[in-house]
Amino acid sequence: MRPIDSESYYHAIECGKQGGEDPACVFWDTGICKNDDFTLTFYSAYKQVAYTVWSAVRKKQPAPQPSYQAARQVRVTIGVAPAAGSKNRLVDFVLKRGGKAVPSAVRDVADGGGRFTFDYAPWAPTGSVTLQMVGKTRTISCVIPPDVLQQFR
């Protein structure tokens, strides 16, 4: 993942124009760190632009031209929600890079889940990222290797 630039902005618009129920270029985060306790969703500038266009196209509306300047302000947000049937409530979320915790710019833990916003640098595909979903009853960890990070948008 990287901040949006003019090339990725127009690519995201074209991605959104594809329509369909679940285009991989819009919903690339489906199944990341899949587990029985929590589900993750990622939000980035690319995804914001692609989703905005996809949502309009899906409703048979003309494809909009989302604000490039607004997209340039978007950082990476991870949403953590309790999985269906899970009793393990989120207490904390930790992103580690090179074995060290990366502080989030914004964090909000509520209702057994949360939202955590980070800059783009920790997501560079130069090394693995470890995500830890710290719950009341157990912690779920997963490692995202560089080849998978390379596919994030």
Q: What are the pLDDT tens digits along the chain (153 aa)?
A: 889 999 999 999 999 998 788 888 888 888 889 999 999 999 999 999 999 999 999 999 999 999 999 999 999 999 999 999 999 999 999 999 999 999 999 999 988 899 999 999 999 999 999 999 999 999 999 999 999 998 888
Q: How far apart (Å, rounded) are the C-alpha atoms in residues 114 and 138? A: 16
Burial 97-119 (b: 16+ CB within 10 A, else e): beeeebebeeeebeebbbbbebe
pTM of the model: 0.86
Tell me which residue of 124, 126, 119 sits closest to 103, measured CA to CA: 119
- Tokens linked to 59: 């409703």
DSSP secondary-structure letter at 27? S
Three-state DSSP state, 14: helix
